[in-house]
Amino acid sequence: MPLSSRHLLGLNGVPREDIELILDTAITFREVLDRPIKKVPTLQGKTIVNLFYENSTRTRISFELAQKRLSADTVNFSTSTSSTKKGETFKDTVRNIEAMKLDMIVVRHESAGVPLYLTKISNANIINAGDGLHEHPTQALLDMYSIKERLGKIEGLKVCIVGDVAHSRVALSNIFGLKTMGAQVSVCGPATMMPLGIEKLGVKVYHDINKAIAENDVLNVLRIQLERNAGSTIPSTREYHNYYGITAERIANYNKEIVILHPGPINRGVEITSEVADGPYQVILDQVTNGVAIRMAVLYLLGTMH
């Protein structure tokens, strides 16, 4: 069974069968990553452009590695070294790149909805690598893969997303994906970081981190995004840490197994202490490895679709 859409724009409305297919296919690619030659010829002859209008380390490298490991030809685009600086419009840029004959576009942009817009002006398969405050579907997929890898399932688990939910596309994609897969999703953070009406998505809201730790199986700890004006929602990062930081002491109070995820980059000592970020409960570096496998699975499933 192929995926039901030829693009991956978000996880909102994506059927459970599609998410399961991506997670299952990723297991195959996870195995490829452990081989001495981490490359398969599957996407030979496909051309993929990585259109990054926003800074990224993990996601861009992860996508690029995934493409190379599938033997696709890849081209990288970043705004700082492109004609965008000369004033070329987004649409013109895309039309020109597409005139060079390509099959897939991986896009990251500071405006929500850009991937959807791309599907209307391009014939390529579009993959959203993060659009504004909207969605970041491959991050949520790799989070789910890592949870499943550690705990063996997703259905029925209690997962709490901690931090600046209002400014997080990772949070939104996680909420959609996890709920589709049958998890109980909650969010935790100060009221200023909770978007109005978040309960309408069917998630529980905590304002007490201790309660969130006590009642959940998984914590997905978000980064405090200072570049997205987090300074106006919290008095200081130190105060945030005092109230919401994930510390070894807080976890030790409950004497239970808990899985800690973090999408990176980590602000050590703000949303999470080094002791926890490097400790036994975290799967943060597994997330990064699994990210390549998930992106290979998505590229494979979209790229070999007829």
Partner 1 sequence: MEIKATIIDAEGLKRTITRLSHEIIESNKGTENLVLIGMRTRGEYLCNRITAKINEIDNSNIIPGVLDVTLYRDDFRTRLKQPEVSVTNITFDINEKNLVLVDDVLYTGRTVRAALDALMDMGRPSSIRLCVLVDRGHRELPIKADFIGKNIPTSIDEEVKVKLKEEDGEDAVYLVNVPSIK
Interface with partner 1 by CB under 8 A: which residues?
A: 1-2, 25, 27-28, 31-32, 35-37, 39-42, 45, 300-301, 304-306
**Lookup: tokens for 265:** 């980059």
Q: Which parts of 218-293 are beta strand (E)?
A: 218-221, 259-261
Nearer to partner 1, 15 or 235 (CB): 15
| Spatial separation of the C-alpha atoms in residues 129 and 126, rounded to whole Å | 10
Question: How distant is the alpha carbon of residue 8 from its chain centre?
Answer: 12
**Lookup: tokens for 228:** 């997205």
We find the least distance from the C-beta atom of residue 108 to partner 1, in angstroms, to be 27
Residue 126, helix vs strand vs coil:
strand
We find the least distance from the C-beta atom of residue 107 to partner 1, in angstroms, to be 23
We find the least distance from the C-beta atom of residue 45 to partner 1, in angstroms, to be 8
Quickly list DSSP for 146-202. HHHHHHS--TT-EEEEES-GGG-HHHHHHHHHHHHTT-EEEEES-GGGSPTTGGGGT
Nearer to partner 1, 2 or 182 (CB): 2
We find the least distance from the C-beta atom of residue 157 to partner 1, in angstroms, to be 24
We find the least distance from the C-beta atom of residue 290 to partner 1, in angstroms, to be 15
**Lookup: tokens for 22:** 């991506």
Phi, psi of 268 (to 5 degrees): -65, 135
Nearer to partner 1, 37 or 196 (CB): 37
Nearer to partner 1, 42 or 225 (CB): 42
We find the least distance from the C-beta atom of residue 201 to partner 1, in angstroms, to be 32
Among the listed residues 173, 200, 202, 169, the one whose alpha carbon sits nearest the alpha carbon of residue 185: 202
Nearer to partner 1, 8 or 234 (CB): 8
We find the least distance from the C-beta atom of residue 4 to partner 1, in angstroms, to be 12
* Cis? peptide before 195, omega within 30° of 0: no
Nearer to partner 1, 42 or 79 (CB): 42
Nearer to partner 1, 25 or 146 (CB): 25
Among the listed residues 75, 54, 81, the one whose alpha carbon sits nearest the alpha carbon of residue 63: 75
